Amino acid sequence: MEKTSVSWLPGMGPFQFLADPFGLWKDNLLYVFVETYDYRNRHGIIEVFTYDTSFRLLERKLALSEPWHLSYPYVFEADGEIWMMPEAYHSGKLTLYRAVSFPDVWEAASVIDLGPDVAVDATPFFHDGLWWLFYTPAAKPPKPVGELCLAFAEHLKGPWKRHPANPVRLDSASTRPGGTPMVMKGQLMLPVQDCSWTYGGAIRPLWFETLTAERVVTHAGAKIKIPAPFAPYTEGMHTLSSVGPVTLLDVKRTELSARGLSIEIIRETKKLLRKTF
């Protein structure tokens, strides 16, 4: 069995985490886009880490920031351009960004119209002559059971049509997108998050036995095990994305501190006071 090497992203700042890695190779450099989240303001931005072919870190910089929270920076190439579709449901819309100067200058190129749905972790993928969009619809309060919805289009910018069978799958263990789709032995596979007992608990492969504009048939595989050498980051897996010969994983552990708990107490107290008055 071939030995697999593991490289880690740089350490995080205080009261922060890095999540949702997606990558793209360009000119023999690997660009890894991540959400950087700060617990102090509960706001996420997108950063990009640049690596050479020996996985030596060359640069770290801000890629995208908006007044609203950003995460899940799904980055891909299509139609001779580089695109990013980050998770941004707090904005109330799903925005497709185009790289003006890769990797850190982006412009809003299109807003994807999904009717009443505001998409969470939207994941586009071109397959069998159509663009497909996998997403979980946002809901407040959150629905007790997870939903997977689909939309499809002939062109990336649309118009997009929601699938008539939506939601195509109901299951908190295998519906929320969690990485890059891929075709394996002729069958499409979408990494999905298992949130049945905790958020970011595990990743499962979701296989599409049938995927047409009229019909969808799926089945979920077993949870992907976190390799032992990843300890102490063994509490869960949140994202699995493929970029050429590299697989990017988002694994986690929980650290508690008195300062961190005080930040949460202050925030929750302010929220309670706003509701009271």
Predicted pLDDT of residue 260 = 59
| Residue 228 backbone phi and psi in degrees, to 5 | -55, -40
Instruction: Identify any residues that bridge with 206 across adjacent strands, giving them in sequence order.
Output: 190, 220
If pLDDT is split at 50, 70 and 90, which confidence band does 154 have? very high
Tell me the C-alpha distance between 59 and 41, whole Å: 25
pLDDT over 80 (residue 272): no
Nearest-angstrom CA–CA distance, 181 and 242:
8
| Residues belonging to the chain | 277
- In this prediction the pTM is 0.91
The amino acid that residue 17 corresponds to is F
Q: What is the mean pLDDT of residues 237-245?
A: 95
Whole-Å CA distances, 198 to 120, 139, 144, 172, 202: 17, 18, 13, 10, 9
What was the pLDDT predicted at 277? 54
Q: Token pair for residue 266? A: 């202050």
Instruction: Write out the two tokens for 15.
Output: 């009261």
| Band of residue 12 on the pLDDT scale cut at 50, 70, 90 | confident
Question: Helices H, strands E: what count in the chain?
Answer: 1, 20
pLDDT above 50 for 5: yes
d(CA 206, CA 184): 12
**What are the two backbone dihedrals, phi and then psi, of residue 268, each rounded to the nearest 5 degrees?**
-65, -35
Give the Cβ contact number of residue 171 at 10 Å.
20
CA atoms within 13 A on the CB side of 132: 23
Q: Report the alpha-carbon distance of residue 143 to residue 147 in Å, rounded.
A: 8
